[in-house]
Amino acid sequence: MYIREIKKKNKGFEKEFIYHRLVHSYRTKEGPRQKTILNMGKLDIPRKQWKILANRIEMILKGQQILFPAPDKIWALAHHYANIIKRNTLSACIEESKEEKLQQIDINNITTHDAKTIGAEYVGLTAYKALELNKLLKSLGFSDKQSHIACLLIVSKLIHPGSERQIRHFITEESGITELLGIDLKISNNALYRISDLLIEHKEQIENHIRQKLKDLFSLKETIIFYDLTNTYFEGSGGNAKRGRSKDKRNDRPLITLGLVLDEDGFVKGSRVFPGNISEPKTLLEAIKIITKRGKYAPLPFLRPTIVLDAGIATKDNLEALKRQGLYYIVISRQGPDEKVLKEENIEIKEGITANLYQQDNEYFILCKSKAKLQKEQAIISRARKAMEKELEKIKAGLSKKGGIKNYQRIAERIGRLRERYKRVSSGYRIEIKKQEAKAVDIVWEFDESNLGKPYDGSYYLRTNRVDLSAERIWSIYVMLTRVEDAFRSLKSELGFRPVHPFVSVLSYHLLSYIQYLLKRSGINHRWGTILSYLRTHQVVTTTLPKKDGCLLIRGCTVPTLKQREIYRALGLSDSPLKQRIAEVSL
């Protein structure tokens, strides 16, 4: 092998272009011949090192041992170009070779390299194809390249949540997803940003398509609808990013708020991004637009769904809005009925939970009492009381210490800050500061739980206009609201939900919902993080078998583990994501 320099000028231009080729020289009956092995681009190494580089490439391809060291740069370039030759050779080999042929190889120099993860990508692409998103994007005017990049972005976000920069690195360096798609794309960070923006432009059409496709695939009933919100902090500024109360305890950063509408099976019916400082009750009107025929949203195919809300959204005005739309609702209520008309009492909902059922006009109020909730609330109150009284003891002890704070005004301020810190229990304390002139001389306090403003007795009210249902059924529907919380948990922890493009995370969650629904039907109830850990070890690798006059290349998948096979079976997949390819490099 040797390196040939090519100089070229375009007609009408004075500029000279220089590039290099790796050439293999061999003898035939007609005389010596040369064959171009690789177009190398323009080399930036001295001419005297060209032969060293060519020799190192040939040694790597033949699997020969290196006896004499070469400069690090030459060694790195040799491996780079040798890998390109191997990939190009394998790419030209479309199908698995079925020819039976004996080959003599050097078993001492067999190498395995170019390993890429393939298991999670296989599963994610299966969900993507099942939802026919590629077909949809093309109908929306996406080019083939844009459709491929969108697929790479959404599936990679499912597997490797992170920024566009991190996802690009995952696609190009770690993942075999492009092999599964059968494409060879150069992707930039900007290309991923542009595709994210393009997906958001078609948000409503994409969500309507997914909603209908999932309904057709799984015959979803869609009779129970859940609505809730979460927020997440923003790394930059702009858009809907506003200061507000962070559920992640990140009040130092601006926030955005995400509202999700889900059905009883955990599938997202619609999503909406709000400013981070929006009042939660105000967002329900947008949710109603998603559920009903109003606005730009396509209607959900319900006759009269039941909307399930938590206490933060279930205000009096919002309940009136639901009634005007003719919608059923089940909500947790901060207050009981004005006039208690007992319909049933001491209903055994489940072990540890009892209820009394009251009716007021066309509504039911269910007073639920939970032993577990009582224990939890009492533990919270007990911890808060101990912490607050410990601080009070410190302040009191300082009154009798030399150098301690004794000024009445400053003591009052310290106690005021304590009340602010321990809001949950501070209203139950009556604290008296005794003073002489301007100095505090003693602090006494007593606690009365009845002054806390709400009973911490494990009780709560459910309110509904579904008077056709039993108390047990109403309670069982309400506790399904935890599915929205599960969705938010998955978005934040497993899918890395963060601005600037939250809609991409929501699309990845659609794939996750599809996968988990099928897995649960087969009795696999692991969290997505656990599934990923099982699939991560399934890889596609290249094995190089050195020969006297070159090498054999085998590109194929590792044998799946029992756990991986179990997951593939549940999704209706074969054990091997890719067919094995065998190619030969002759030198």
Same domain? For 334 and 412 the reply is no
Is 112 domain-assigned?
no
Same domain? For 262 and 329 the reply is yes
Calpha distance 66→144 (Å, rounded): 45
- What confidence tens digit (pLDDT) does each residue in 130-147 have? 999 999 999 999 999 999
Same domain? For 377 and 358 the reply is no
Same domain? For 428 and 478 the reply is no
Is 204 domain-assigned?
no
Same domain? For 471 and 325 the reply is yes
What pLDDT sits at residue 301?
Answer: 46
Same domain? For 254 and 335 the reply is yes
Mean pLDDT, residues 456-463: 90
Q: Which residue has the tokens 């009154």?
A: 399
Pick from 213, 119, 107: which is nearest to 160 by CA? 119
Calpha distance 283→281 (Å, rounded): 5
Contact 211, 196 (CB under 8 A): no
Whether pLDDT at 238 is above 60: no
Is 283 domain-assigned?
yes
What pLDDT sits at residue 446?
Answer: 93
In eight-state DSSP terms, residue 351 is T
Same domain? For 418 and 299 the reply is no
- What confidence tens digit (pLDDT) does each residue in 419-458 have? 999 998 999 999 999 988 889 999 999 999 888 877 888 8
Mean pLDDT, residues 530-540: 95
Give the range among 186-200, 251-265, 383-397, 542-556 with minimum mean pLDDT: 251-265
Give the range among 100-109, 150-159, 385-394 with minimum mean pLDDT: 100-109
E strand intervals along 315-386: 328-333, 342-350, 353-360, 363-370
End-to-end CA distance of the chain: 8
- Structure tokens given for 426: 């501070």
Average pLDDT along the chain: 85
What pLDDT sits at residue 370?
Answer: 93
What pLDDT sits at residue 290?
Answer: 62
- For the chain, the domain total comes to 3
Domain extent at residue 256: 232-362+465-488
Same domain? For 413 and 353 the reply is no
- Percentage of the chain lying above the pLDDT 70 cut: 89
Last residue of a domain, one of 92, 124, 156: 92
Is 123 domain-assigned?
no
Mean pLDDT, residues 561-579: 94
Q: What is the DSSP string of 227-255?
A: EEEEEEE-SS--TT-B----TTS-TTS-E
Alpha-carbon Rg of the chain, whole angstroms? 33
Calpha distance 290→204 (Å, rounded): 10
Q: Which residue has the tokens 């006297």?
A: 548
Is 144 domain-assigned?
no
Same domain? For 255 and 299 the reply is yes
What 3-state class would DSSP assign to 402?
A: coil
Calpha distance 347→356 (Å, rounded): 6
Contact 578, 180 (CB under 8 A): yes
Which amino acid, one-letter code, is at 104? Q
Is 498 domain-assigned?
no
Q: Which residue has the tokens 């709400």?
A: 454
Is 148 domain-assigned?
no
Give the range among 27-31, 60-64, 356-360, 379-383 with minimum mean pLDDT: 60-64
- What confidence tens digit (pLDDT) does each residue in 20-77 have? 999 988 888 888 888 888 898 888 899 988 888 888 888 888 777 666 777 888 888 8
What pLDDT sits at residue 221?
Answer: 75
What pLDDT sits at residue 522?
Answer: 94
What pLDDT sits at residue 138?
Answer: 95
What pLDDT sits at residue 296?
Answer: 45
Query: 537 φ, ψ to 5°?
Result: -85, -5
Whether pLDDT at 481 is above 60: yes
Element counts in the chain: helices (H) and strands (E) = 19, 18
What pLDDT sits at residue 9?
Answer: 84
- What confidence tens digit (pLDDT) does each residue in 224-237 have? 778 777 777 666 55
Last residue of a domain, one of 392, 422, 451: 451
Same domain? For 381 and 328 the reply is no
Last residue of a domain, one of 75, 92, 109: 92
Is 26 domain-assigned?
yes
Whether pLDDT at 295 is above 50: no
Same domain? For 339 and 415 the reply is no
What pLDDT sits at residue 100?
Answer: 61
Same domain? For 355 and 474 the reply is yes
